[in-house]
C-alpha cells in the first residue's frame, strides 16, 4: 500500500484530502507545517508528499528542498493558491513532481497522485544486467552476441546526456532498456517519466508534454505544467515516438535543439534540461521517406541508436529467459515449479514468438500460475497456440470493422476474393515472422504443414 503524507496548515484541507485519498486505498499521514513534514518524512519514508506552499514557520518550499535532499525518490506534489503560482515554478525547480493550483477537483488530484506514484515506481525499480542474483531487482537477461552488443551500447551511452533512440519490435524490451539507461546515468536520482505517444489523443498530447496557460482553451482554468517541466533535470521516455503527430514533432525538435518551448497559449519561453530517450517499433526511415516523420527530428533523435533483436533471432537466450521468468513468477504466486522439461523447452524453441519477450513472459506466467506439476511440460504451455480472450476480442472487433468497410466501399459482391486476401496476408505474415520457416509458420497459423504447402502453391507465395 502506498503511503502519502499530506501537509497543510488548514485543517479542513488536510481533512478532505485525507478522506479522499483513504477512499482510494492509500495510507495517509498528516502534518500541519514544514518542520513536522520533514520529521514525518524522515521517519515514515512516504512514497508521496502533498504539501501546501504557504505555511507559517518553515514554509513548503524549504521543506520540499530538505525532503528532496534527504530522500530524492520521494515524490512531492505542491499545492498553491493562484496568487502564489510563481512559487510553484520555483517548486518544480527544487524537484517537485508537480503542483496543483487551489482549488482543484478531485479527479485531477487523483490523476496527478497516480502519475507521481508511477514515476516513483519507475525510479525505484532498479534494472541491472545479467549476473547479479537479487530477486528484488529487475534484470535484463541474455548472453547472445546481439544482447552483448546492446549492453555495450547502454554502458557507453548511459553516463552521457546523449539522446537515444531505441528500436525494436513489440515486446523486445525497449522500455526495460530505457530504464536501464536511466538507472545507470548521472540522472538516476532525478525524475524519470515515460510518455506513450500512441496512447494519448493528439489534442491532449501537446498539453500533457508542454503544459498550458490559464485560458489557453475552454476549460483551462489554471496553468498546467507539462511533462517536460515536471521532468526538469531528469529523463523522459517518449515511447512509440512514431505515433507523434507531425505538428508536434516541430515543437519537440526545438526542445532537442535548445531546450526551449512555450506552454499552450503562452508567450514565455520555458527552458528545460531533460534527457530524451525515444522508443519505437515503427520504421522511422520509411516514415521519413513518405513524409509522416520529420527528417530533421529523426536525425536529432538518432544520435545513438540501440536496436533490440527480436527473440526469434536470439533463441540461445530462451533457456535463460525461461528460467528467469519461472523464478520470478514462482515468487509472485508463491509456487515452487522447479523448471521445465526438455519437451517443454523444445516446444518453446519451436515457436516464433511474434510478441517477443513479453509474449514469453505472459506464456510462462500463465503456465506457472495454473500448473501444479514439478516441471512445466508442453501441456502447461498450451496457451501458445490459443489466443487469449482479450486479444481475440480485439481481433473480432477489427474483423467486424473490416466487414463494414467492405460493404460501405461497395465490395460486397467479392466475398471469395476478400477471404482469399485475408488468408494470403496471414500466411505472408507468418512466413515473415518465421523468416520463411514453413514448419513454424504452419504452427503459428494453426494449420498442418501440408495445408500450408498447398496454399503456398495455389498463391505462388514461395
Ligand atoms: N532481455 C530481457 N530480460 C528480461 N526481461 C525482459 C527482457 N526483455 C523484455 N523483458 C520483459 O518483457 C516485457 C516487455 O518488455 P518491454 O515493455 O520493455 O517491451 P517493449 O519493447 O517496450 O514492448 P512494446 O513495444 O510492446 O511496448 C517486460 O515485462 C520486460 O521486463
Ligand atoms: Mg513499450
Among all chains, which residue has been given the C-alpha cell 501444479?
A: 372
For the chain, the average pLDDT equals: 87
Q: pLDDT by residue (tens digit) across 197-212?
A: 988 888 789 999 999 9
The yes-or-no verdict on residue 388 having pLDDT over 50 is no
Closest CA to ligand 1's atom 31: 176
Provide the pLDDT for residue 415: 85
Provide the pLDDT for residue 458: 81
Provide the pLDDT for residue 405: 80
Q: What percent of the chain has pLDDT over 90?
A: 48
Question: What one-character DSSP code corresponds to residue 92?
Answer: H
Least confident of 19-23, 68-72, 176-180, 410-414: 410-414
**What distance in angstroms lies between residue 360's CA and the mean position of ligand 1's atoms?**
10
How many whole angstroms separate alpha carbon 142 and alpha carbon 363? 18
Task: Give the number of the ligand closest to the Cα of residue 168.
Answer: 1
Provide the pLDDT for residue 308: 97
Provide the pLDDT for residue 122: 78
Query: Quick one: which atom of ligand 1 is closest to the CA of 142?
Result: 1
Neighbours of ion ligand 2 (CB under 5 A): 175
For residues 176 and 95, the model is more confident at 176
In sequence order, what DSSP letters do the residues of 171-203 get, joined into one string?
TSSHHHHHHHHHHTSTTTTS-EEEEETTTS-HH
Q: pLDDT by residue (tens digit) across 257-268?
A: 999 999 999 999
Provide the pLDDT for residue 386: 46
The yes-or-no verdict on residue 402 having pLDDT over 70 is yes
First to last CA, the chain: 56
Q: Kindly list the structural domains of the chain, giving each domain's residue range(s) and its CATH number in brackets, ordered by start.
A: 3-121 (3.40.50.2300), 127-307 (3.40.50.300), 315-384 (1.10.8.60), 394-459 (1.10.10.60)
SS3 333: coil
pTM of the shown model: 0.76
Least confident of 64-78, 118-132, 338-352, 413-427: 118-132
**What distance in angstroms lies between residue 346's CA and the mean position of ligand 2's atoms?**
28
The yes-or-no verdict on residue 390 having pLDDT over 60 is no
Main-chain phi, psi angles of 14, to 5 degrees: -60, -45
Task: Give the number of the ligand closest to the Cα of residue 357.
Answer: 1
**What distance in angstroms lies between residue 295's CA and the mean position of ligand 2's atoms?**
23
The Cβ of residue 8 has, within 10 Å, a number of other Cβ atoms equal to: 25
Q: pLDDT by residue (tens digit) across 330-357?
A: 988 889 999 998 888 888 888 889 899 9
Q: pLDDT by residue (tens digit) across 180-199?
A: 999 989 998 888 999 999 88
Mean pLDDT of 323-329: 93
Provide the pLDDT for residue 180: 92
The model's confidence at residue 85, banded by pLDDT at 50, 70 and 90, is low
Mean pLDDT of 297-315: 95
Closest CA to ligand 1's atom 28: 358
The model's confidence at residue 436, banded by pLDDT at 50, 70 and 90, is confident
Angle at which helix 174-183 crosses helix 145-157, to 10 degrees, equals 40
In 32-107, where do the E strands start and end?
Answer: 48-52, 75-81, 98-102
H-only helix segments in 383-461? 389-408, 415-433, 438-445, 449-459
Provide the pLDDT for residue 387: 41
CB 222 within 8 A of CB 84: no
Taken in order 406, 407, 408, 409, the sign of the CA dihedral is: positive
* Lookup: cell for 117: 506514484
Main-chain phi, psi angles of 351, to 5 degrees: -100, 150
Pocket of ligand 1 (CB under 6 A): 139-142, 168, 170-176, 281, 357-358, 361
For residues 118 and 294, the model is more confident at 294
The yes-or-no verdict on residue 239 having pLDDT over 50 is yes
Taken in order 178, 432, 391, 422, the sign of the CA dihedral is: positive
Provide the pLDDT for residue 389: 47
How many whole angstroms separate alpha carbon 204 and alpha carbon 210? 10
Amino acid at each position: 500500500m502506498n503511503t502519502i503524507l499530506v501537509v497543510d496548515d488548514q485543517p479542513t484541507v488536510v481533512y478532505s484530502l485525507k478522506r479522499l485519498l483513504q477512499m482510494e486505498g492509500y495510507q495517509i499521514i498528516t502534518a500541519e507545517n514544514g518542520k513536522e513534514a520533514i520529521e514525518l518524512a524522515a521517519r515514515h519514508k512516504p512514497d508521496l508528499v502533498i504539501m501546501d506552499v504557504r505555511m507559517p514557520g518553515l514554509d513548503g518550499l524549504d521543506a520540499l528542498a530538505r525532503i528532496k535532499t534527504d530522500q530524492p525518490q520521494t515524490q512531492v506534489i505542491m499545492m498553491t493558491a493562484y496568487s502564489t503560482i510563481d512559487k510553484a515554478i520555483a517548486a518544480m525547480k527544487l524537484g517537485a513532481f508537480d503542483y496543483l493550483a487551489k482549488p482543484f477537483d478531485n479527479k485531477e488530484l487523483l490523476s496527478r497522485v497516480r502519475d507521481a506514484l508511477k514515476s516513483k515506481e519507475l525510479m525505484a525499480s532498479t534494472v541491472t544486467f545479467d549476473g547479479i542474483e537479487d530477486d528484488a531487482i529487475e534484470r535484463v537477461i541474455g548472453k547472445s552476441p546481439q544482447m552483448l552488443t546492446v549492453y555495450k551500447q547502454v554502458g557507453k551511452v548511459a553516463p552521457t546526456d546523449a539522446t537515444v533512440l531505441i528500436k525494436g519490435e513489440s515486446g523486445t524490451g525497449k522500455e526495460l532498456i530505457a530504464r536501464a539507461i536511466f538507472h545507470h546515468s548521472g540522472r538516476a536520482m532525478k525524475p524519470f517519466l515515460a510518455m506513450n505517444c500512441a496512447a494519448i489523443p493528439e489534442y491532449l498530447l501537446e498539453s500533457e508534454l508542454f503544459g498550458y496557460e490559464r485560458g489557453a482553451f475552454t476549460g483551462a482554468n489554471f496553468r498546467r505544467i507539462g511533462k517536460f517541466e515536471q521532468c526538469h533535470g531528469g529523463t523522459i521516455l517518449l515511447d512509440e515516438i512514431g505515433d507523434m503527430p507531425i505538428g508536434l514533432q516541430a515543437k519537440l525538435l526545438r526542445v532537442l535543439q535548445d531546450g526551449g518551448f512555450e506552454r499552450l497559449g503562452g508567450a514565455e519561453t520555458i527552458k528545460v534540461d531533460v534527457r530524451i530517450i525515444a522508443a519505437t517499433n515503427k520504421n522511422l526511415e520509411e516514415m521519413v521517406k513518405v513524409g509522416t516523420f520529420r527528417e530533421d527530428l529523426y536525425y536529432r533523435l538518432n544520435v545513438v541508436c540501440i536496436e533490440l533483436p527480436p527473440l526469434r533471432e536470439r533463441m540461445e537466450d530462451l533457456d535463460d529467459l525461461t528460467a528467469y521468468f519461472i523464478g520470478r513468477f514462482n515468487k509472485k504466486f508463491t509456487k515452487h515449479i522447479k523448471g521445465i522439461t526438455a519437451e517443454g523447452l523444445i516446444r518453446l524453441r519451436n515457436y516464433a514468438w511474434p510478441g517477443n519477450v513479453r509474449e514469453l513472459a505472459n506464456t510462462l506466467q500463465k503456465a506457472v500460475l495454473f500448473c501444479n506439476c514439478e516441471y512445466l511440460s508442453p501441456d502447461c504451455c498450451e496457451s501458445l497456440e490459443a489466443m487469449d480472450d482479450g486479444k481475440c476480442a480485439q481481433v473480432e472487433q477489427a474483423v467486424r470493422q473490416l466487414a463494414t468497410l467492405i460493404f460501405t466501399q461497395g465490395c460486397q459482391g467479392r466475398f471469395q476474393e476478400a477471404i482469399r486476401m485475408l488468408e494470403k496476408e496471414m500466411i505472408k505474415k507468418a512466413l515473415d515472422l518465421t523468416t520463411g520457416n514453413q514448419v513454424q509458420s504452419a504452427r503459428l497459423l494453426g494449420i498442418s504443414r501440408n495445408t500450408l504447402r498447398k496454399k503456398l502453391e495455389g498463391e505462388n507465395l514461395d
